[in-house]
Structure 1
Amino acid sequence: MSPAVPTSRPSSGVPLFQPGAIDNYFQGHSSFGYNPSPEASVLRTFKRLAISQGWDEERRKKEKAKFQTAVDVEFTARVGSGFALSDWQRLAKVIGIEPLPVTITQCRKMIKKENINIYHILHAYRRATEVKNIEDVEACKDIRRFKNVAELRKYTLNHGMFYKKEFAKGSVLKGLLKRLR
């Protein structure tokens, strides 16, 4: 896949949205009638799916685990595995870290300091455009940076946007998770 980043410059690239693992998960429920869209909130879509299928609490937990596995696969596919410096630098630019760190270790440390809900990042990358040069990447204004973990915790609780650590296989994704409960 080409480098993808959220950008507000319409002339800087072409939309890259292709259905991913999350869309495949939703389409696996044929009676749900899901149409892939870069604009759809994946969490709201999951909630609509659970309601439409009439899942009890036990089934909902099982399906949530499958959904979170799909989120990890898609997050890694869109953001990167974390083995390339360019993946980390692109993410740092997208979330607004300046100056741009020059090593993977520096990127990890700077990104780890940020208090951001991963679903905001995933949504931004689902709406990304192609940008070849890291210098052209702009911070995504849709990604909310919280002042501290307590603020992030409150927002995450209020919006039900938790992501369990045990489902995070991608190294970039793991670097973003915080202990919120």
Structure 2
Amino acid sequence: MSPPAPTTNSNNGVPLFQPGAIDTYFQSHNSFDYNPTSTTSVLKTFKRLAINQGWDEERRRQEKGKFQKAIDVEFTDRVGSGFLLEDWQRLGKVIGIEPLPGSITQCKKMIKKENINIYHILHAYRRATEVENVEDVEACKDVRRFKTVAELRKYTQNHKMYYQKEFAKGSVLKGLLKHLR
């Protein structure tokens, strides 16, 4: 996905949201009423879709796999492939890391230390504003940073916000995963 070219002062930014792979997944179910927006909770929408379609547990599990593959594609499209320092620094800024490391390796190390639910990051990027300079990116207030993996685990279990490792193909997404079960 190519972000729109900024049309205003780079400090103000422009809305970035464009429908992505997750939205395409939801729209592929013809009898499901879905309109892509930047504020839609993708997990709540998946649950609504499962109810709407009347899926049994086996079908729901199969569809969850397709849904998580779409998340991987969209995460990589929005966050980056992991090959550019700017992508890692932008992610660091979005989740609130200061000061920003100057290398990909150092960014990875700093980000790996964070205990953040992947869905929070995805939602932050779906609501993001595009700015030209990484320095102008602001930390997203909706990205909750947990002090420990145990706190993240409890939150993830309580809200059923798991992402299965086998569906993570993008290097940035893989770098954020923690063992929570």
TM-score range, shorter chain: over 0.9
Residue identity matched to 1:127: R
Q: Deviations over 1:100-139 (max 9, x none)?
A: 0000000000000000000000001001111001111111
Alignment partner, residue 7 of structure 1 = none
1:141 partner amino acid: K
Q: Measured at CA, do residues 70 and 154 of structure 1 come closer, stay the same or move farther in structure 2, by a change above 3 Å? A: same
Q: Which has the higher contact order (CA 8 A, sep 6+)?
A: 1
Describe how 1:14-29 pairs up with structure 2 within 5 A: 14-29=14-29
Whether 1:2 aligns to 2:3 is yes
Q: Any idea what the Cα deviations from partners look like across 1:122-179, whole Å, max 9, x if unmatched?
A: 0010011110011111111110000100000000001010000000000000000000
Q: Which runs of 4+ in 1 moved over 2 A?
A: none
TM-score, scaled to structure 2: 0.95
> C-alpha root-mean-square deviation of aligned residues, in Å?
1.5
Match of 1:111 in 2: 111
What corresponds to 2:149 in structure 1? 149
Name the count of aligned residue pairs.
Answer: 176
Report if aligned partners of 1:16, 1:130 keep a CA contact under 8 Å in 2.
Answer: yes
Q: Secondary structure at the match of 1:62?
A: helix
The structural deviation recorded for 1:3 is: 8.6
Give, in whole Å, the separation in 1 of the partners of 2:59 and 2:70: 17
Aligned partners of 1:90 and 1:134 also within 8 Å: yes
**Conserved in 1, the CA contact under 8 Å of 2:4 and 2:16?**
no
**Structure 2: 5+ residue stretches without partners:** none
Q: What's the CA shift for 1:33?
A: 1.1
Residues 163-174 of structure 1 aligned to structure 2 (within 5 Å): 163-174=163-174
Find the aligned partners of 1:129 and 1:151 in 2 and give their Cα distance.
29
- 2:15 match: secondary structure: coil
Are 1:102 and 2:85 an aligned pair? Answer: no
**In structure 2, how many angstroms separate the alpha carbons of the residues matched to 1:46 and 1:167?**
16
Tell me which amino acid in the other structure corresponds to 1:48: R
Structure 1: how far apart are the matches of 2:141 and 2:4? 19
Equivalent residue runs for 1:53-64 within 5 Å: 53-64=53-64
**Contact residue 3 and residue 131 of structure 1 kept, 8 A:** no
Q: Tell me the CA shift for residue 11 of structure 1.
A: 6.1
Q: TM-score, normalised by structure 1?
A: 0.95
Q: Which amino acid aligns with 2:150?
A: A
AA partner of residue 2 (structure 1): P
Aligned-pair identity (%): 80
Give the Cα separation in 2 of the matches to 1:90 and 1:128.
11
2:68, 2:167 within 8 Å by CA — same for their partners in 1? yes
Question: Matched residues in 2 for 1:83 and 1:179: separation?
Answer: 24
Structure 1: 5+ residue stretches without partners: 5-9
Distance in structure 2 (CA, Å) of the matches to 1:27 and 1:99: 40
- Show the counterpart of 1:135: 135
**Counterpart code for 1:112:** K
